[in-house]
Amino acid sequence: MKKYVNVENVQMSFDTRKGVFVALKDVNLSIARGEFITLIGHSGCGKSTLLNLIAGLLIPTDGILLCADREIAGPGPDRGVVFQNHSLLPWLTCFDNVHLAVERVFGATEDKVQLKIRTQDALALVHLTHAEQKYPHEISGGMKQRVGIARALAMQPKVLLMDEPFGALDALTRAHLQDELMKIVAKTNSTVIMVTHDVDEAVLLSDRIVMMTNGPAATIGEILEVDLPRPRNRLALANDARYHGLRGAVLEFLYQKQAKQAA
């Protein structure tokens, strides 16, 4: 299978006041087109750093990152990012927030009507047509996150990068958005890389779970294939032995092999 995103021997260190801090070391990862990957690990393990590297927000100290055979040298519209804290611009309506992204990617080739339709389609995909003209402070946290997803998807990125997108939401909203995300990904056939620290979320959504060792100098510890058939249903999975087996494997990695020392 053709690899779509390639991470080769990547190392990332930061200059801090106390000297050089090596966040990631020897990271190798290949992701196929249409794959749903989650990065999981304890906080401080560099999973967000890895995501930011793929996004191009950070440039690796060593090694190389490729997306569709091209080196990642900076952020680009081929990689849509959903931020943990949604990062919507508070002075723009939901429509304008999404339109800003659409305009940038398609503004040169399409006319105003087409851009408007694209924006509306993206918001319809996350079921927010009714909130188009609302400002971010007028809608709930879950809705903001959906606008963030719509903004990223509207650019028709090759890869969707999500940094703990549901981390700040309550459990019910989170479950609802996970289901919605699964449907959207099935419909759009997106390639997704998602950072999470929620074991259930990882097993439910992923094709493969990339488990990272503790930092400093964190790297990929194990990669777990999740071969549960799609579409997945959280209720059916609740009584599925394979689901529990996979969940157990992740938990074992996190709390036994990579157990955090009590601070």
Residues 126-145 that bind another protein (CB under 8 A): 137
Quick note: the x/- pattern for another protein over 196-235, rule CB under 8 A, is ----------------------------------------
Considering the rule CB under 8 A, would residue 21 count as an interface residue with another protein? no
Binding mask 44-73 for another protein (x = CB under 8 A): -----------xxx----------------
Residue number with CB closer to another protein (106 or 253): 106
Q: For 63, which DSSP code?
A: E
Number of C-beta neighbours around residue 97 at 10 A = 25
14 within 8 A of 20, measured Cβ to Cβ: yes
Q: Of the two residues 80 and 214, which places its CB atom closer to another protein in the complex? A: 80
Provide the minimum distance between the beta carbon of 121 and another protein in the complex, in angstroms, as a whole number: 18
**Residue (81 or 169) nearer to another protein, CB:** 81
Name 54's Cβ contacts closer than 8 Å, sequence gap at least 6: 5, 7, 65, 67, 72, 79, 159, 161, 193
Cα–Cα nearest to 47, from 189, 237, 261, 197: 197
Residue in 34, 77, 141, 167 binding another protein, rule: CB under 8 A = 77
What does the DSSP 8-state code read for residue 35? -
Q: Report, in Å, the least distance between residue 158 CB and another protein.
A: 14
**Closest to 81 in 3D by CA, of 172, 154, 30:** 154
Q: Retrieve residue 260's tokens.
A: 């955090």
Using CB under 8 A, pick the residue from 14, 64, 104, 129 that binds another protein.
104
- N-to-C CA span, the chain: 43
The per-residue DSSP string of 128-193 comes to -GGGTT--GGGS-HHHHHHHHHHHHHHT--SEEEEESTTTTS-HHHHHHHHHHHHHHHHHHT-EEE
CB of 237 to another protein, least distance (A): 33
Q: Which stretch binds another protein (CB under 8 A): 1-9, 77-85, 210-218, 243-251?
A: 77-85
> Could you give the CA distance from residue 231 to residue 233 in angstroms, rounded to a whole number?
7
Q: Which of residues 22, 32, 100, 237 is near another protein by CB under 8 A?
A: 100
Closer by beta carbon to another protein, 34 or else 77? 77
Q: What residue ranges bind another protein (CB under 8 A)?
A: 55-57, 74-77, 79-81, 83, 85, 87, 89-92, 100-101, 104, 137, 155
